[in-house]
Amino acid sequence: MHELGIVVHITKTLKGIAKENQLKEIASVSLELGEVSGVIPEILTDCWNYYRKKFPLIEEAELKFETLPAVTYCEDCEKTYPTVQYGKKCPHCGSDHTYLIAGNECNIKEIEAC
């Protein structure tokens, strides 16, 4: 259910942008979600479809998704690797002194509006 909380925050941000740019209607909202952001697009869309009806500004707005790949960096061998496939353990050297450098994103990329 954190998707509902995220929808509330997206809406807040959109209201601010609408005010700044004097927008009346938003047709689409493009999001960038990292592979390991923990946000599930299908559930986010369900929450969005419920919540958008409450606000004329976003009533007709479609949610679009772009997935950003998750990448982990290994401190020991200084190489990177795809997080989803290998997790915490570096596939190059077997070390677990690794940390995520990308893939946790949860961004509003752009909107289409008038």
Minimum CB–partner distance for residue 92 and other proteins (Å): 19
Q: Does 49 sit near other proteins (CB under 8 A)? A: no
Residue (of 68, 93, 67) closest to 79 by Cα position: 93
Name the β-bridge partners of 54. Answer: none
Q: Does 1 sit near other proteins (CB under 8 A)? A: yes
Residue range at the interface with other proteins (CB under 8 A); choices 18-26, 52-60, 61-69, 70-78: 18-26
The two beta strands, 71-74 and 98-102, are: antiparallel
Q: Does 24 sit near other proteins (CB under 8 A)? A: yes
Residue (of 5, 26, 4, 6) closest to 15 by Cα position: 26
Q: Using the 8-state DSSP alphabet, how is residue 22 labeled?
A: T
Residues in the site for other proteins, rule: CB under 8 A?
1-2, 4-6, 8-10, 12-13, 16-17, 21, 23-24, 27, 31, 38, 88, 96, 105-114
